[in-house]
Amino acid sequence: MKQLLLATSVCWTVLLLWLSIQVDGKTIEVGTAKELSDALESVKPGDTIKLADGTYHSKFVAETSGTKSAPITLTGSRKAVLSGSNYGFWLKANHWHLRGFTVTNSNKGIVLDGGNHNLLEELEVHNIKQEGIHFRLHSSDNVLRNSYIHTTGTGSPGFGEGVYIGSAVSNWPDGKPDKSDRNEVSGNRIGPDVAAEEIDIKEGSCCGIIKDNTFDGTGMSGENYADSWIDVKGEGYTIENNSGDHTLLDGIQIHIVKDADMGGCGNKIVHTSCKHLAKKGVCVNDTTKNCKDPNIIEK
């Protein structure tokens, strides 16, 4: 009996050691665009891709998913700079951690398509022709935090949002709502020179958290109705403890999209600090009417 127990104990020890190795993964150090592209193709759950300081210019796409217990990490300092002709970084996978590096000089900054349970933190995204960071095509349960996003819309001011959640009804896949839900945007510094809204929350998306962000609206273009820090057309969002300075009109605007006959209801907006609004601007402008689930707005 003792021998059986000892053998069982040894087996469990070996199994736990093997699982630990699988979860920990390996570190892949890269220093060129080709090395990064190769690493993105070969990476496995639990691995870390470590960027050396320098400039990386190519098409960077992540399509291999990590797992909850073994996420994939892409990390570097702010001096590790990614850029691309179209997207600076394209994430089409789940359970990634993007940490520390810079994305610049691209048509769009970081785009998530069908990416879920990803963490983006301590990034800098700037000098982008259109939007800085976009969660779309059912990208849900992601977190963007403690990052600095500025100087967007340099090529298309009307589409130069800092953070874009979901898709406009005209761009819904198969005509169905883009359910990019439960995304969190917290503790970020957004602006100056964000040409459109600092955060644009599109119709069809639901139940995200926008908190503890600081906005600088200096350089807002006003094109395509971009005249507030946050434009809310989604439902069930909690928007709290955000502060902004300088805007063309209002701090936060809430709308129902008539083409979709939806959006703009059931949101909770609390503890918003607004400075230097336009003469006719208000801190939170709720334009919705007849919501079955009305918005809650508190100072």
Domain boundaries, the chain: 52-298
pLDDT digits (tens, 9 = 90+) for 54-77: 999 999 999 999 999 999 999 999
pLDDT digits (tens, 9 = 90+) for 229-261: 999 999 999 999 999 999 999 999 999 998 777
Question: Quick one: pLDDT band at residue 93, thresholds 50, 70, 90?
Answer: very high
**pLDDT greater than 80 at residue 1:** no
Question: How many helices, marked H, and strands, marked E, lie in the chain?
Answer: 2, 29
Fold of the 52-298 domain = Pectate Lyase C-like (2.160.20)
pTM here is: 0.91
Give the mean pLDDT of the chain.
93
CB 217 within 8 A of CB 253: no
What is the distance between the alpha carbons of residues 259 and 271, in angstroms, rounded to a whole number? 31
What is the distance between the alpha carbons of residues 150 and 118, in angstroms, rounded to a whole number? 21
**pLDDT greater than 70 at residue 4:** no
Nearest residue to 70 (alpha-carbon basis) of 109, 25, 108, 17: 25
CB 225 within 8 A of CB 200: no
The pLDDT assigned to 261 comes to: 78
Judged by DSSP in three states, 253 sits in strand
The pLDDT assigned to 9 comes to: 54
Question: Quick one: pLDDT band at residue 18, thresholds 50, 70, 90?
Answer: very low
